[in-house]
Amino acid sequence: MLQLGELKAGERMFDLGSGDGRIVIMAAEKFRAQATGVEWDKDLHKQSMDKIASLKLDKSARIINGDILKQDYTSADLVTVYLLPTSNDKIRPLLEKQLKKGTRIVSHDFEFRDWKADKVEVIDDDGEGRSHTLYLYRR
């Protein structure tokens, strides 16, 4: 997702519904980006913040413990999502309102209705026998 979204060092990325924080951590550690996750589950928030602290990534990675529908994404260069279609439907108007022109959005497995993907990448086997589809959009 980060490669398809062409994340560059110093750019700001947001993972909406960041789970255990793996994408945020990879964005900060391997891509040298300023990475923010948003996660409403308190345990996942704590787990991911603990991992960030243990890797000493505090300056470039953080997780907001809150609802993805109540955040400010105006500074984003890249947004990543792995959410159900109903959640994509809910977040879409907020992204349309807030994201600056040129911001990239990469969605895992589920398309954004009414948006036309710039690129679709299919990963047939992730090494564990599962296939994935990634959708790249540009505002």
Ligand X SMILES: C[S@@+](CC[C@H](N)C(=O)[O-])C[C@H]1O[C@@H](n2cnc3c(N)ncnc32)[C@H](O)[C@@H]1O
- Which residues contact ligand X (rule: CB under 6 A)? 15, 17-19, 22-23, 38-41, 44, 67-69, 82-83, 87, 108
**Cβ atoms of residues 112 and 135 within 8 Å:** yes
Nearest CB to ligand X, comparing residues 18 and 34 = 18
**Residue 54 Cβ vs ligand X, minimum distance, rounded to whole Å:** 18
**Amino acid found at 61:** A
Q: Indicate the residue among 101 and 130 with the shorter CB distance to ligand X.
A: 130
Taking the least distance from each CB to ligand X, the nearer of 101 and 127 is: 127
- Name, in order, each residue with C-beta under 8 angstroms of 14's C-beta and a sequence gap of 6 or more: 35, 36, 37, 38, 71, 73, 76, 78, 79, 80
Least distance to ligand X, CB of residue 91, Å: 8
Task: Tell me the C-alpha to C-alpha distance, in Å, between residue 79 and each of 26, 43, 45, 61, 82.
Answer: 14, 23, 18, 14, 10
| CA pair distance 70, 115, nearest whole angstrom | 22
Q: Between residues 22 and 30, which has the closer beta carbon with respect to ligand X?
A: 22
Residue with the shortest CB distance to ligand X: 17
Lookup result for tokens 């497995």:
109
Least Cβ distance, residue 101 to ligand X (angstroms): 25
- Smallest distance, Å, CB 41 to ligand X? 4
